[in-house]
Structure 1
Amino acid sequence: MLINEQMIDDIALGATVLGTGGGGDPYSGALMAKVALKNAIKPVEVIALEEVQDTWMTVPSSMIGAPTVSIEKINSESQMLVAFEAMEVALGETAAATFPIEIGGFNSLIPILVAAQKGIPVVDCDAMGRAFPEAQMVTFYLDGLPSAPNTLADEKGNVVTLHPIDGVWSERFARPITEEMGGSAAMCDYPMLGKNLKQSALGGTLTRAMKIGQAIRLANAKGENAVDAILDIVGGQRLITGKIVDIERTTAGGFVTGGVIIEKLNKAGTESMPTDVYVHFQNELLLAHSGSSAGDLNQDSVLASTPDLISILDHETGQPITTEQLRYGQRIDLIAYPCDPKWRTAKGIEVAGPRYFGYDVEYKTIEELAGEIQ
């Protein structure tokens, strides 16, 4: 499948839904990908995970840092290529393909930039099926694959190569380096042979993002409900249809953290919805519970939690809203839907469940929670 500009727009839109509020600004990512496509060595091809050869060296391409930073600190066109080629130097070999480490608005498009400049394909896969805030929150870490080497690059040309013992140490080293690089950096980690990629990555996630983006675009063109169109693809449910009445947001430590309060709109058919919902985030939306403050959180108030996906969508258009774009007065639908089964394993919940982020509640699937509410 050869990438074109419409596909870039659809991937950006759908990946922002799956990015659960994080993954970077889709608008700037789409613009950069389109420019890269026009200047490409050859047409950029997206290949299925099954097409990857066992002996290929594959390297993911991504950005690390707080999404709020990318609004004012625009990434350079060559920044990702610098990190990617530094990885090839560290490995002593040329990469045969690249892919997104996560599915998020900006990070899903970064591999297109590299593929266009290197003349290599993008693999239709990622290591999260969504976006997560920390480097070890990938299926590769769950499967015990090595993170090293890591390479980071900023827009000035600075490059750092790391050899952490695992993904946790990768996060501990890379985050403060990213801070020194201005809060946002290009990063490559988890280089691996094709045979390992096929065993551990989540296949078909780029095309899933594109399908969601297409559904939003077509629903709006036909005057249909775009949120319903999204839910038809991802499953799950609306948690609340409401208005944002307050938001707390802090950018520090390489993350944007905070919470948003949503007040229910008085509409017919919403009687089963809570009056107010509080949503916690750390780059990505992590946990939603009934109540109008963070202090209302308890086991019985939880509506959805990581690693399941939570997305905030514009009520009229279904357009996903990232955490840095949340504003007072926005009319939204808050939806939640299932994560990949790998994240529902004991190790997956340990790595990316609510307790990891400091929430004193047990993880329950959204299917379980929906049953309790009913």
Structure 2
Amino acid sequence: MGGFELTLDTLRDLAEGAAVLGTGGGGDPYVGRLLVEQQLRAGRAVRIIGVDELPDDALVLPCALMGAPTVFHEKLPGAAGIVTALRTLEDRLGRRAAATMPIECGGFNSMIPLVLGAETGLPVVDADGMGRAFPELQMETFAVMGVPGSPMSIASDHGDAGIIDAVDNRRMEMLARAVTVQMGGSAYICDYPMDAREVRRTAVPGTLTLAARIGATLRQARDDHRDPFAALTAMLADTIYSHGVVLFRGKVADIERRTVAGFARGRVRLTAMDDPGDQMEIVFQNEHLVARRNGQPAAIVPDLICTLNSETGAPVTTEALTYGQRLTVYAISTPRIMRSPEALACFGPAGFGLDDPYVPVEQLVGGP
């Protein structure tokens, strides 16, 4: 896959597609998009590359903003913190990075590597470790396939920085979460340092390009006055996310949302427009975890459960859910790499304490 230089138009499509892949969480990419736009308008460039463009031993340092998405609305991020996190980890490793990449391609964290790339000149690898957004650091294909997340760096907006060298990836998450809370609910991180050979083995490929295609598909459908959901389903059919389906159309009847221990947790209940007795409830922890229609699972993590504006297809994040919104719940199947027994043990239903077994969405609800 050849690389390309990011343009303002592609950036806008990428941000919207990333919000879809965020499955309600990951933070709204809008502010992050503005940060990247500011960089591009200042004359800086962002190059997105395929991992095959790097030599096997090239050091790749994934990066992200950690914390509850609700915090990002009140505490706007900047570029300095992620640069500090990068330099801190480089100093710890005694090596300079050849590239950065997203830890997660969904939501706000699709934008953080682009900001870092613009600030430092590093290329951004077109891949990630989640294929969507997840709330915890150990929930990575990197971790599932044996890459240690430590040492990781963590930095605040105030210039604080440090290294967490945990004995395993779960403890890395626990320790980093506690530090993030003390840093004000959000922090900049670099973790899972690895060479390009390991990225090729463990990452979900092409996810930034996928996000840009999703955003472009929704934009073009709106411009052409076509059904955005039918357009999205057709587009996904020739990707590794092969199955997209409308689960439910209705309006928000109830929303419960709270920030607990660095996570946005809650549930939203929708009722069908033509039948108030027909309901769907979605449970979320930053991201949507399970959608139940009249008590029966219709889709479950790690498959993607997206809440989209029923008219435009525009994604609506968990922090933006409000009473009375007209929404379409849309599910997307995850790639094969995210459905192995090892992956499901990490970020399937059991990883979130859900009693429901994992059943692929295409088996639960069939075709579109």
Distance 2:232 2:175 in 1: 37
Written as runs of structure 1 = structure 2, the 5 A alignment for 1:1-374 is: 1-39=4-42, 42-234=44-236, 235-266=243-274, 275-291=278-294, 296=295, 301-371=296-366
| CA-to-aligned-CA distance 1:91-133 (integer Å, 9 cap, x gap) | 1111010011101221101111111111111111001110011
Instruction: Provide the rounded CA distance (Å) in 1 between the counterparts of 2:364 and 2:271.
Output: 20
Letter of the aligned partner of 1:307 in structure 2? Answer: P
Whether the 8 Å contact between 2:232 and 2:244 is mirrored in structure 1 is no
* Partner SS, residue 32 of structure 2: helix
- The residue identity in structure 2 corresponding to 1:194 is A
What is the CA distance between 1:274 and its match in structure 2? 8.1
Aligned-residue Cα RMSD (Å) equals 1.7
- Sort the Cα spacing of 1:274 and 1:290 in 2 relative to 1 into closer, same or farther, 3 A: farther
**In structure 2, how many angstroms separate the alpha carbons of the residues matched to 1:243 and 1:364?**
26
Query: SS state of the match for residue 106, structure 1?
Result: helix
Deviations 1:241-292 (A, max 9, x none): 100110000101010000000101229xxxxx9810000000000000123x
Give yes or no for contact 1:259–1:278 (8 Å, CA) kept in 2.
Answer: yes
Q: Which residue of 2 aligns with 1:270?
A: none
> Aligned equivalents of 1:165 and 1:219: distance in 2?
48
Deviation at 1:236, TM superposition (A): 2.3
The aligned amino acid for 2:356 is V
Say if 1:60 and 1:190, in contact at 8 Å, map to a contact too.
Answer: yes
Distance 2:293 2:227 in 1: 25
**Shift in Å at residue 43 of structure 1?**
2.3
* Percent identity for Structure 1 against Structure 2: 40
Whether contact under 8 Å (2:25, 2:69) holds in the other structure is: yes
338-347 vs 252-261, which moves further: 338-347
The amino acid that maps onto 1:126 is D
CA contact under 8 A between 1:52 and 1:198: conserved in structure 2? no
Determine if contact 2:5/2:47 at 8 Å carries over to the other structure: yes
Q: What residue ranges of structure 1 are gaps of 5+ in the alignment?
A: 268-272
| Deviation, structure 1 residue 312 | 0.4
Residues 158-190 of structure 1 show CA distances to partners (whole Å, capped at 9, x for unaligned) of 112111122211111111111111111111100
Taking the aligned partners of 2:277 and 2:234, their CA distance within structure 1 comes to: 23
Return the letter of the residue paired with 1:283: N
Which stretch shows the higher mean deviation, 229-238 or 59-68?
A: 229-238
Using structure 2 for the length normalisation, give the TM-score. 0.94
Unaligned regions of 5+ residues in structure 2, if any? 237-242
Alpha-carbon distance in structure 1 between the residues aligned to 2:277 and 2:132: 26
SS in 1 for 2:130: coil
Contact 1:39–1:116, Cα closer than 8 Å, also in 2 = no
| Corresponding residue SS for 2:5 | coil
Tell me the CA shift for residue 360 of structure 1. Answer: 1.2
Q: Distance in 1 between matches of 2:210 and 2:340?
A: 22
